[in-house]
Chains A and B, each alone.
Chain A
C-alpha cells in the first residue's frame, strides 16, 4: 500500500509536517488568521442594539468599577503619583493577557466545527484568538489613555500629560501580543490534550494577577524584600505592565523610563513565542481526534 502511494506521489495526511513546512503553510494563511480574528472580535459585540459601540462602553464601565473600588475605596496605590491612571493602565493591559490566555486555551475546542470541516495548520486558531483580543483592545486603549489623561485633573492625582512616550505604547502592546500568542500556544495544546487543565487556568491567572502589581506598585510594597521584589518585577507580566505604564504615565517613581525593562520584555516575548510555538507544533497530529 505504502509503495503504491509513494509511486504515485501521494502525500500522507494526518501527520505532523516538518517545522519549516509548518511555519511556511502558516505564513501562507496569514490573511485567514487576520480575517478570522477580526471577524470574531466583530461578532462579539453583535446581537445588541448598540452593537459595536460596546467595544468602547465595555472597557469604560470596566475601568470605572476598578477606579471606584481600588482607587477611591481601598487605597492600594501608595507610592504612585496618580493611582487612577496606574490602576487603569494595569487593569487594561492585564485583561489583554488574561483574555488571550483563557480564550487561547479553548481555541481548539471552540472552533471544533471548523477543525472538523477544513484542513489548515491548527496554529491558526491560537493566533487568531490573540488577534481577536488585540482587536478588542484597540478601542480600549484609547479609553485607557483618555481616562488616564482626565484623571490628571483631579487635584489629589498627579498630572498625566500626552508626551512623545505615548508613541511607545503600540510597541509595548505589540510585544505583549507576541508574548500572549506564545502563552496561548502552550495552553491551547495542554487543554486540547488534557481538558481538565481548562479548569485550573482561571486560578493560575488570578494568582498571576495578584503577583504582577496590577493594582499596586510591587517596588513600593516589597521595599524590604530585595530578592522577591526583583523576581516579581522582572517576571513577564510585570515587565509588560511596566513598559505599558512607562509609555502612558508620567510617574518617575513607580514607572520611570527604563530601557532595560524594554529589553527584558522583548526577551520574554521572543522566548515564549518560540517555546510556545514549538510545544503547539509537537501536538499537531493529535488535534481534532478527541
Chain B
C-alpha cells in the first residue's frame, strides 16, 4: 500500500488555523531530559538474534527453546539516550513509527516509569493523557471521575466542584452514570481527556488521546490545549497525524528506535519524517 501525500483522519481543514505559537515568548526551562535510558523487562519472550551468520547448532537451539519457557527474560531497550530541554509555553510534537519509544518517553517524563539510566527533571506535576489511561471499567463514569481526580492529586471537594465542568466538557451527558465498560471507545477517551484536563499541570502530555474523538470533540480539546498552553505550561503531543502536529505544535521531536533523530521546527521535522516514511514505503515494495 502506498502512502498518499496527506493521510489525515484527525484534523479537518478548518481546524488548521495557523497558530501564533511561534510568536509566543519562551519561558524558563520546564523540563530537562538528560541522557535517558529506559529498559523494559519482558518475561516469556526470546530475543531474536541479528539473523545473520550460520544457523545455531542443535544443542544451542534446544537450550534456546528451553529458555523461552523457563527463565525466559528479555530486556527491551525502548529509549536509548535521549536528551533535550523544553521551556514554558512551548508545545512539542513527537513523531516516530510504531514502537519507536514515544509512549515510553512520555511515561518516563511523567514519572510513571523510572529511568534505567539518566534523569528527568520537571517543574511541578506533569500529567499524561493516554489512550491506555484506563480507569475502572466496572464502575460508573461518575465514580471514575472521582477516582481519576483524586489520583491526579485533587481533593474530594475540588473534584465535586469540577464534576459538572468535567461532564460538560466530556459531552457524554447522562452516560456518565453508566459503567464505563458500556462506553464506546470515543466516549471513554472523551471522559479520560476531560478528567485529566481538570487539573492544570505544568507539563501536559497527550499520547494519541485525541485520535478517537469526533470532529466537535477535537475542536474542543484543541481549545483546551491552547488554554493550558496560555497558562505558561508545556504541552507534548504524540500523534501519527502530521497535520495535527503541524497545527498544534511549534517544535517537533522525531524519535526512531529509541533515539532522538531530529529536533526542530514542526514543519521541517514533519517534512523530513514524511520523506523517511515514503522512502521506507518505497523500499518495502
Task: Give B residues with C-beta under 8 Å from A.
Answer: 28-32, 34-35, 38-43, 83, 85, 107-116, 119-128, 130, 132-134, 136, 138-139, 143, 146-148, 150-153, 155-156, 179
Closest B-chain residue to A120, C-beta based? B151
Does A22 make an interface contact (CB < 8 A)? Answer: no
Is A2 within 8 A of B119, CB to CB? yes
**Chain A residues, CB < 8 A from B43:** 195
Is A1 within 8 A of B139, CB to CB? no
Is A289 within 8 A of B150, CB to CB? no
Interface residue from A6, A31, A113 paired with B134 (Cβ < 8 Å): A113
Interface residue from A10, A15, A119, A286 paired with B125 (Cβ < 8 Å): A119
In the complex, identify which listed stretch (A39-47, A165-173, A226-234) lies at the interface while the others stay far away. Answer: A39-47
Interface residue from B34, B122, B130 paired with A2 (Cβ < 8 Å): B34
**Chain B residues, CB < 8 A from A117:** 112, 128, 130, 132-134
**Chain A residues, CB < 8 A from B111:** 13-14, 119
Does A259 make an interface contact (CB < 8 A)? Answer: no
Is B112 within 8 A of A31, CB to CB? no
Closest A-chain residue to B34, C-beta based? A1
Does A58 make an interface contact (CB < 8 A)? Answer: no
CB-CB under 8 A for A286 and B114, given A2-B119, A4-B85: yes
> Could you tell me the distance between the alpha carbons of A114 and B119 in the complex, rounded to whole angstroms?
22
**Chain B residues, CB < 8 A from A15:** 114, 119
Is A1 within 8 A of B83, CB to CB? yes
> Could you tell me the distance between the alpha carbons of A102 and B202 in the complex, rounded to whole angstroms?
38
CB distance from B191 to the nearest CB of A (A): 13
> Could you tell me the distance between the alpha carbons of A40 and B137 in the complex, rounded to whole angstroms?
11
CB-CB under 8 A for A39 and B143, given A4-B32, A114-B151, A119-B110: yes
A163-181 interface code vs B (CB 8 A; 1 in, 0 out): 0000000000000000000
Closest A-chain residue to B31, C-beta based? A10
Is B132 within 8 A of A116, CB to CB? yes
Closest A-chain residue to B84, C-beta based? A1
CB-CB under 8 A for A43 and B123, given A289-B41, A290-B40: no
Nearest 10 pairs of A and B residues by beta carbon: A5-B121, A290-B41, A117-B133, A10-B121, A32-B150, A14-B114, A13-B111, A1-B34, A113-B134, A5-B32
Extra contacts besides A8-B30, A35-B150, A286-B114 (8): CB < 8 Å:
A5-B119, A8-B28, A10-B29, A14-B120, A35-B146, A47-B138, A118-B112, A289-B39
Interface residue from A11, A31, A42, A288 paired with B113 (Cβ < 8 Å): A288
Among residues 273 to 290 in chain A, which have CB atoms less than 8 Å away from a CB atom of chain B?
285-290
CB distance from A290 to the nearest CB of B (A): 4
Does A155 make an interface contact (CB < 8 A)? Answer: no
CB distance from A165 to the nearest CB of B (A): 36
**Which of A6, A8, A113 is the most central at the interface, judged by chain B CB atoms within 10 Å of its CB?**
A8
Closest A-chain residue to B144, C-beta based? A39
Does A252 make an interface contact (CB < 8 A)? Answer: no
CB-CB under 8 A for A39 and B121, given A31-B155, A288-B113: no
Is B112 within 8 A of A288, CB to CB? yes
CB distance from A79 to the nearest CB of B (A): 45
Does A260 make an interface contact (CB < 8 A)? Answer: no
Is B114 within 8 A of A39, CB to CB? no
A116-129 interface code vs B (CB 8 A; 1 in, 0 out): 11111000000000
